[in-house]
């Protein structure tokens, strides 16, 4: 139908804040997940969600709630996605090392998502799946009681410490000298071969693999010799102090 002047009527698009498909809680959380992954958690607001979904702000409140409710739902989704770890290998040492590598890769690959969980005070829940499989593999390797509990925390502390160091190195200002440049022949006068290696940068991933392998082999071999795994040894039955890796994981 034409307008009053006999001209064809203009096609009308959807009004702002409207959408054809029905909205759901899952769609809102999917979009929140996407915003955090691509733009960072600082850009996640109720208004940004509404704009991206083409709905009114009140629709977000109706289906999910305020920003804190969105974050709570998002955290549950992140934990479900990032929490599981890969366990590979046939020998106990191989399987424990695989757990540590899988967890480290997850933390490095998704720093913004991990940061959301950490800021919402849910870091312990994020690490719980890794704790469960570590307990299973460490007990299968012969550790038990307080030794097994301490060993779980030792592996997690190494993983998280490695991630924090990597993040710190990325953020630090340009240094006038690297640690490798500070070594001189006077420091190791009788070991020229050692000096050559000290003056070359260490690959962070290889360093992590070396450290994790050394730790796991010590834990497992100690249990086989009946010497215990570490600080808990010699006080069987004592409860290991609970610990949760922390720090700024982003």
Map out the domains of the chain as residue ranges.
25-81, 84-176+183-224
Q: Are 55 and 17 in contact (CB under 8 A)?
A: yes
> Which of these CATH numbers, 3.10.105.10, 3.90.650.10, 1.10.287.3610, 1.10.10.60, describes 25-81?
1.10.10.60
Q: Are 141 and 92 in contact (CB under 8 A)?
A: yes
Q: Are 116 and 41 in contact (CB under 8 A)?
A: yes
What pLDDT is attached to residue 231? 54
CA-wise closest residue to 145 among 56, 225, 236: 236
Q: Which two tokens stand for residue 128?
A: 């719980």
Max distance between CA atoms of the chain, in angstroms, equals: 99
Helices (H), the chain: 25-39, 46-53, 57-63, 67-82, 92-109, 111-119, 123-140, 145-171, 192-198, 204-224
What pLDDT is attached to residue 234? 47
What pLDDT is attached to residue 9? 43
Lowest mean pLDDT among 17-26, 47-56, 85-94, 108-117: 17-26
Q: Are 2 and 8 in contact (CB under 8 A)?
A: yes
CATH of domain 84-176+183-224: 1.10.357.10
Q: Is the pLDDT of residue 4 over 50?
A: no
- Mean pLDDT, residues 157-174: 89
What pLDDT is attached to residue 248? 54
Q: Give the residue carrying structure tokens 């693999």.
A: 209
Q: Is the pLDDT of residue 240 over 50?
A: no
What percent of the chain shows pLDDT beyond 90? Answer: 52
Whole-angstrom Cα distance, residue 210 to residue 23? 50
What pLDDT is attached to residue 230? 55
Alpha carbon separation from 93 to 89, 147, 160, 170 (Å, rounded):
8, 16, 19, 31
- pLDDT tens-place string over residues 57-109: 999 999 999 999 999 999 999 999 888 888 899 888 999 999 999 999 999 99
Residues in CB range of 206: below 8 A, 6 or more apart: none
What pLDDT is attached to residue 239? 38
């Amino acid at each position: 139908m034409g307008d009053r002047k006999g001209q064809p009527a203009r096609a009308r698009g959807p009004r702002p804040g409207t959408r054809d498909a029905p909205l759901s809680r899952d769609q809102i959380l999917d979009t929140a997940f996407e915003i955090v992954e691509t733009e960072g958690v600082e850009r996640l607001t109720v208004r940004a969600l509404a704009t991206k979904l083409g709905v009114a702000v009140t629709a977000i409140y109706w289906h999910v709630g305020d920003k804190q409710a969105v974050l709570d739902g998002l955290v549950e989704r992140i934990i479900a996605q990032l929490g599981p770890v890969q366990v590979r290998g046939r020998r106990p040492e191989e399987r424990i090392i695989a757990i540590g590598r899988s967890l480290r890769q997850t933390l490095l690959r998704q720093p913004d998502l991990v940061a959301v969980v950490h800021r919402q005070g849910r870091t312990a829940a994020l690490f719980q799946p890794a704790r469960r499989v570590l307990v299973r593999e460490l007990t299968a390797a012969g550790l038990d009681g307080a030794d097994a509990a301490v060993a779980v925390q030792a592996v997690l502390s190494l993983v998280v410490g490695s991630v924090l160091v990597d993040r710190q190195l990325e953020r630090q200002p340009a240094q006038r000298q690297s640690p490798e440049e500070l070594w001189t022949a006077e420091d190791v006068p009788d070991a020229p071969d050692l000096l050559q290696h000290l003056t070359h940068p260490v690959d962070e991933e290889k360093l992590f693999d070396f450290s994790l392998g050394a730790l796991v082999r010590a834990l497992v071999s100690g249990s086989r010799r009946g010497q215990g795994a570490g600080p808990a040894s010699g006080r069987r039955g004592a409860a290991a102090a609970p610990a949760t890796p922390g720090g700024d994981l982003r």
